Amino acid sequence: MGREVSESCIDSLLTEMVSTYCNRFYANKPELAARRIEAIGYQVGHQLSERYTMERPRFSDHLEAIKFICKDFWSELFKKQIDNLKTNHRGTFVLQDNHFRWLTRMSIDQSPENGASEEPSIMADNKAVQSMHLYFPCGIIRGALSNLGIPCAVSADISNLPACSFVVRIKA
Amino acid sequence: MQFFGGSEISPSPSVPTTTGNNAHMIYVFNRNGVCLLYREWNRPLHTLNPQQDHKLMFGLLFSLKSLTAKMDPTSAEKGNLGVPQLPGQGCSFHSFRTNTYKLSFMETPSGIKFILVTNPRSGDLRETLMYIYNLYVEYVAKNPLYTPGTPIRCELFNTALDQYVRSIP
């Protein structure tokens, strides 16, 4: 496995993908753009999990599979493991990454100098654009888990950058 | 400290501040003259409003670059004065110094110009400007939320820049 790809290329490709889907293909339909980006992530996660579980035996239960995602899968993708895993033991898991690689360079616009009344809408706009970038990793997690036989729904939470939490809800 | 005979009109050079912030201000322009960033840390005197100030600075550097290239004794081919030049063509102008400040300049191949105004005792700041350019690439060019050609409004870049500038001797 000697071939390598420049990380800047991948970062630029992902940025452009989100930007194209949001601004050109589905210009005024953010839900459709989000679903499309998530579907792309699903395919990627599906195939990556196939690759990274080649020599391993089957997972005994859901927790083992989630732990695989947190440790080995995340290390292969982002060169680090998930920092914090929480569960309610009833099918919901929260995976927290304190320094998510694809968000390290994203920074919120400063608050505008003209009038505090514009702030809430601009902040909401920023949050919307930032959350668009998270549909791809959510899709990756969902694709990987579904390939391991665990159907689920994944959402992301970025209340404090650059830390990022992914909430996985397993469908019973 | 040198004293030139009889001239009391020129103001005394600024002393480096005790907080360690020896840089006065920074301008970043793109190739079309749009001022992408202006930050000041130590500027006691404001003479023009910001738009005029930016235009003046951009015009000044445009003319200086053109002038220095045309006066270059080592280069054989010189176009007419006033012909705009591509970045990298002609000799590159680095800095000028007065008794109250030093202005350092760097232009990247993509046409981004970095101008840093510091106290007159500063040495060669080309590496400093290169480092600031690297900060720009990391935090601005690679920021998914930034549109090229618009003024820079990234918290991460501003914080990193402030921190770095504080450490310039």
Residue B21 has pLDDT above 60, yes or no: yes
Q: Name the percent of chain B lying above pLDDT 70.
A: 79
Write down the mean pLDDT value for chain A.
Answer: 85
pTM of the model: 0.78
pLDDT in the model for residue A41: 94
pLDDT in tens, A34-90: 999 999 999 999 999 998 888 888 888 888 899 998 999 999 898 899 999 999 888
For A89-147, the DSSP string reads SSSEEEEEETT-GGGTT--PBPPPSS-GGGHHHHHHHHHHHHHHTTHHHHHHHHHHHHH
* Chain A contact probe: residue of B138, B140, B145 with most A CBs at under 10 A: B145
Name every chain A residue with its beta carbon within 8 A of the beta carbon of B153.
Answer: 109-110
CATH code at A7-107+122-170: 3.30.1380.20
pLDDT in the model for residue A61: 87
Q: Which CATH architecture describes the domain B23-70+86-167? A: 2-Layer Sandwich (3.30)
Considering only alpha carbons, which residue of chain A is nearest residue B157? A107
**Alpha-carbon span A96 to A93, nearest angstrom:** 10
Name every chain B residue with its beta carbon within 8 A of the beta carbon of A19.
Answer: 144
Ranges of each domain in chain A: 7-107+122-170
pLDDT in the model for residue A131: 85
Q: Name the percent of chain A lying above pLDDT 70.
A: 90
Name every chain A residue with its beta carbon within 8 A of the beta carbon of B143.
Answer: 105-107
pLDDT in tens, B32-84: 889 999 988 888 888 888 889 999 999 998 888 888 888 878 776 666 666 66
